[in-house]
């Protein structure tokens, strides 16, 4: 098992906590204000991490050239749109349903990685994707 799995599981746990905290925090505030505050906090935390990495000599922004900038900017724009829409959905819906549907992004990643990146998924990955889809339908209907 690669170390990526531990990071992915910790990311999933943090995403779950972020959803629960956001749902409680959205009780008396509009979703766009909450998204803005969250973005400021996240930016501050990431800047702190970058400063630590700069001090250690690990951070090397010189590797960002050409199309890397374009795709990172596009990722940032897509991420911002995702957060705005996610917080709006979270404000209006049940946290468990909204989060599950949001996490169905794995299905979009599976499809787009095949279409745009030329990845060839193993049969088990396709079966797993179908199971996620069935789970999505079942939770959406409940």
pLDDT at 59: 75
The count of other CB atoms within 10 Å of the CB of residue 83 is 19
The count of other CB atoms within 10 Å of the CB of residue 94 is 13
pLDDT digit string (tens) for the chain, length 142 residues: 688 888 888 988 999 999 999 999 998 999 999 999 999 999 999 999 988 888 887 777 777 788 888 898 999 999 999 999 999 999 999 998 898 889 889 999 999 999 999 999 999 999 999 999 999 888 878 7
DSSP state letter for 93: S
pLDDT at 1: 66
Helix count and strand count (H, E) for the chain: 6, 0
């Amino acid at each position: 098992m690669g170390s990526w799995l531990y990071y992915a599981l910790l990311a999933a746990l943090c995403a779950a906590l972020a959803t629960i905290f956001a749902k409680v925090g959205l009780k008396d505030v509009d979703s766009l204000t909450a998204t803005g505050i969250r973005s400021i906090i996240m930016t501050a935390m990431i800047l702190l991490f970058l400063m630590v990495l700069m001090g250690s000599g690990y951070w090397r922004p010189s590797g960002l050239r050409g199309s890397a900038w374009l795709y990172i900017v596009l990722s940032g724009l897509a991420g911002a749109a995702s957060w705005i829409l996610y917080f709006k959905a979270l404000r209006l819906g049940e946290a468990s349903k909204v989060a599950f549907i949001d996490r169905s992004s794995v299905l979009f990643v599976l499809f787009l990685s095949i279409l745009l990146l030329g990845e060839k998924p193993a049969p088990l990955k396709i079966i797993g994707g179908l199971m996620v889809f069935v789970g999505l339908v079942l939770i959406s209907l409940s």
